[in-house]
Amino acid sequence: MDPGSDIIAPFQQSKPDKTICALSEKQEQEAIEAFHHLATVFREPRCLNCHGSVNPFVEGGGHVGGVININETLQQYSRSQSFANAVRESRGGMSTTDQDVQQARDAIEHAVSHPDTGDADIGSSNRDLVFLSCQQCHSVPPLPRWRVPMVKNWFAHIGSRQPKGDEQLCELMRAHTITGDFATPADFLNHLDHEDFVMIGFKGNRGLNDNGILTYEDVTKKTFRLEPPSMPHGEMMKWAKAWAEAIGDRYWNKRPKDCGCKPHRYGMRAQWNNIYRDPEISAFLNTKATPGHAPLVFNDDASFKLQMDMVAQEQAFVAGECRGNLTLKHALSIEGNVDESAERLRAKPRWAWASAEGIMVCTDRRGRTTYKQIKMPMDPTPSSRIPEFDMAAQTDETKELKVEWNQGSQHGETFIKFELMQETEQAK
């Protein structure tokens, strides 16, 4: 676990996300497999070091170029004659007013470095000032100003500087696809295909200029050479595309954050109950049904088809004459899908078949008792057709339906309750 920090707080999730990830098992496996390869590159020193593993702002941060104290560096700038120029330079093409300069000076005055990261919470534009100083050693044209990512974008853990695992790195990328930083797969692929720092990473020069190389050779006693990642850029792109394709358009910008990062298993449960009346013979039924359950497995287009069996014990009473004990067996089949919004689950349920088995005991007016063995298939349709419905595509969601039916003088109401659930054990 990362230690608590203001900078990462918004990215810590308190409650588990119950949103269903309706990828097929194949899509899920492909996404996980593709990201596993992608994560291998993210953990290469050329990416990992910039993304949190080399931290020039703290003692023991592994920076060959030495410890750079953010506060001191900023204070130096703020005291210098050319402070206004530095602010302007750090903000590149943006127009900078005297007020902006004053605000930057105030922010620096109150800057507090975070003890674990050395980073200061001073706003990204003031933070950019710090990176002017990196150019003494890291400035190989056409390199944009060398800088390291914000803590929330680290591929390494704070403190230990050890790389994060596949799932965490995957969720980090998903956080960017969901918030829209990578609004489309093309945005994501473009970043990996063209972004300057990624390109520098694959060049393997650490952005070092002559002064940087001298420092390197002086400190490490090694001869400087290019050290690009071991996976070729083209292969990384192949895995990045495979990951994006496996997640697809429906889930690219949608929660849950771990959709496309780890396997999900869901199930659907349904329970029914009957209220039955026949005024002509004043009969009533008492039904006790055990819930049916089936794995909810999605196809590539987020559709599903399942069937579950339900068994009920029914006691029947017919106006003082007959008593029955019946076992009712129903099979419920449900077809449906998670729609394009990825928020609603639509379902078309129907009774696939039903049968009743048991014994009826009747006593007539003269006190004669007859026993009748009952064993019959029932046709539950069309008398008890279940309507289509939709519900939030979230686990622990329930939907209750009331189905009224009439058959001759008989009138009944069937209540069915559907529930979406997370399977704790893997199916099969």
Site residues (vs ligand HEC, CB under 6 A)? 41-42, 45-47, 49-51, 54, 56, 63-65, 68, 130-131, 133-134, 136-138, 146-150, 153, 172, 176, 191, 197-198, 200-202, 206, 212, 215-216, 229
Question: Nearest approach, Cβ of 48 to ligand HEC (angstroms)?
Answer: 8
Question: Nearest approach, Cβ of 233 to ligand HEC (angstroms)?
Answer: 8
Q: Which three-class secondary structure state does DSSP give residue 219?
A: helix
Task: Return the closest-CA partner of residue 107 out of 78, 135, 79.
Answer: 78
Question: Nearest approach, Cβ of 106 to ligand HEC (angstroms)?
Answer: 22
Residue that the structure tokens 């048991």 belong to: 358
How does strand 292-296 pair with strand 322-338? unpaired
Burial class for 337, CB neighbours closer than 10 Å (0-12, 13-18, 19+): buried
Task: Return the closest-CA partner of residue 51 out of 186, 173, 174, 230.
Answer: 173
- By beta-carbon proximity to ligand HEC, the closer residue of 229 and 349 is 229
Question: Nearest approach, Cβ of 215 to ligand HEC (angstroms)?
Answer: 4
- By beta-carbon proximity to ligand HEC, the closer residue of 41 and 122 is 41
- By beta-carbon proximity to ligand HEC, the closer residue of 65 and 163 is 65
- By beta-carbon proximity to ligand HEC, the closer residue of 64 and 101 is 64
For 278, the enclosing helix (H) or strand (E) is strand 266-278
Question: Nearest approach, Cβ of 385 to ligand HEC (angstroms)?
Answer: 51
- By beta-carbon proximity to ligand HEC, the closer residue of 64 and 401 is 64
Between the alpha carbon of residue 202 and those of residues 85, 158, 241, 243, 319, the distances in Å are 33, 24, 18, 20, 86
- Cβ-proximal residue to ligand HEC, closest one: 65
| Gyration radius of the chain over CA positions | 33
For residue 334, give both structure tokens.
């449900």
Q: Which three-class secondary structure state does DSSP give residue 293?
A: strand
- By beta-carbon proximity to ligand HEC, the closer residue of 237 and 391 is 237
| Length of the chain counted residue by residue | 428
Torsions phi, psi for 345 (to 5 deg): -105, 125
Burial class for 168, CB neighbours closer than 10 Å (0-12, 13-18, 19+): middle
CA separation for the pair 152, 51 (Å, rounded): 10
For 190, the enclosing helix (H) or strand (E) is helix 185-194
Question: Nearest approach, Cβ of 105 to ligand HEC (angstroms)?
Answer: 20
- By beta-carbon proximity to ligand HEC, the closer residue of 200 and 345 is 200
Question: Nearest approach, Cβ of 335 to ligand HEC (angstroms)?
Answer: 39
- By beta-carbon proximity to ligand HEC, the closer residue of 138 and 164 is 138
- Could you tell me which residues are beta bridge partners of residue 36? none
- By beta-carbon proximity to ligand HEC, the closer residue of 45 and 412 is 45
Task: Return the closest-CA partner of residue 326 out of 289, 353, 292, 291.
Answer: 289
Question: Nearest approach, Cβ of 124 to ligand HEC (angstroms)?
Answer: 7
Question: Nearest approach, Cβ of 165 to ligand HEC (angstroms)?
Answer: 15
